[in-house]
Amino acid sequence: MDNTEYFLEKLFAWCVGLNYRMEFRLVKPDWMDDPRKIHRNCFPIDKTDFSFLADRIKRVKDRNVYVGVNPRDWNGYGNDSIKISKWLYADLDAHDRSMDYCIDILQRANIPAPDMIVKSGHGVHAYWELQEPFHIDKSEDALKFRNALVSLITVINMTDRSTPIADKACKDLARILRCPGTYNVKSKENPIYCDICMTNDVAWHYTLHEWLDNLKIYLPQETPKRHDFHIDINYDHVNSKDIIKTKYMKWMTTPTRPGYRHNDLISHAIGMAIDGVDPYEIRKTLDMKRSVSQFDNPISDTEMGNIIDWVMKNKP
């Protein structure tokens, strides 16, 4: 069994019989002039011969070949198509250093050893197998999975604070990473072969909840500050479209429709409430801020009242 077949079987053999698909994207490099830059291919895992597929993939010489780490259902390709996962992953960029530097960071970080490390051309992709599949049935499950990826990235980057090498964007469920046995052809003159450079068949595996609990120990503990706190939400009764993310706050819900102006007003109101400002004075301040951009995203008096009531009820 070659490395490409080994990689595909490790990623997907566990979900044979569950009626999922694996996604591949063939991306043409910038130096190749073609209006159709991305070719997406999906294969039903239950009917795929991994050896045959690996042989086909290795024949691609002039495309960047990516594979979706998590299996897809039959309703699309984005984050909403991910209903189950058995892997955590991280994308490490060497930043003009050697691949050995990335591996050294992984060895020194306060995390278990990866099950696989793939040389990506200008860094490495690391994979950790979960002890059991994690089912993503609702928005709360998706948030937990993303939190695990974010925590993993943070702990890796804490190993050498001078040069954070773990890509902070590698936190989505539908993440695609390079397939071993293919070439990184971003440079026409210098294509780089991507392959598995390390495997660990005796790695100790943890559940996602154990990952979250253990990573929490090494995350920096910050004292809550103005515009910097988390409000607990009962996600069973929250529509995912009602959850917004702002520059100042973590995930939270509000009584108003999403929008930058609403987020800014809520953030400002919460900061004043923490400082003990009277609700009447908060209203006056928000009224002045509201008038600045009414033409951009108008807020009704009722919504303004809802904001004040909600802030006073939910302030820390």
Give the neighbor-by-neighbor strand order of the sheet with 64-68: 38-44, 21-27, 64-68, 176-178
Does an H or E element contain 12, and which? helix 3-12
Q: Mention every residue, 6+ apart, whose C-beta is less than 8 A from residue 171.
A: 146, 149, 150, 153
Q: Residue type for 183, please?
A: Y
Structure confidence by residue, pLDDT tens digits, 51-74: 999 999 999 988 999 999 999 998
Q: Mention every residue, 6+ apart, whose C-beta is less than 8 A from residue 3.
A: 180, 181, 195, 196
Enumerate the domain spans of the chain. Answer: 3-214, 235-314
- What is the distance between the alpha carbons of residues 64 and 257, in angstroms, rounded to a whole number? 40
User: If DSSP codes are grouped into helix, strand and coil, which group holds residue 23?
Assistant: strand
Q: Mention every residue, 6+ apart, whose C-beta is less than 8 A from residue 147.
A: 212
**Residue 255: what pLDDT?**
46
Distances (CA, A) of 199 to 10, 127, 145, 262: 11, 10, 24, 49
DSSP class per residue in 269-296: HHHHHHTT--HHHHHHHHHHHHHHTTTT
Digits of tens for pLDDT over the chain (316 positions)?
799 999 999 999 999 999 999 999 999 988 887 766 888 999 999 999 999 999 999 999 889 999 999 999 987 788 999 999 999 999 999 888 888 999 999 999 999 999 999 999 889 999 999 999 999 999 999 999 999 999 999 999 999 888 889 999 999 999 999 999 999 998 888 999 999 999 988 778 999 999 999 998 888 765 444 444 444 444 344 343 333 333 333 333 444 444 445 556 666 677 777 777 777 777 777 776 655 444 445 566 776 777 777 777 766 5
| pTM score, whole prediction | 0.69
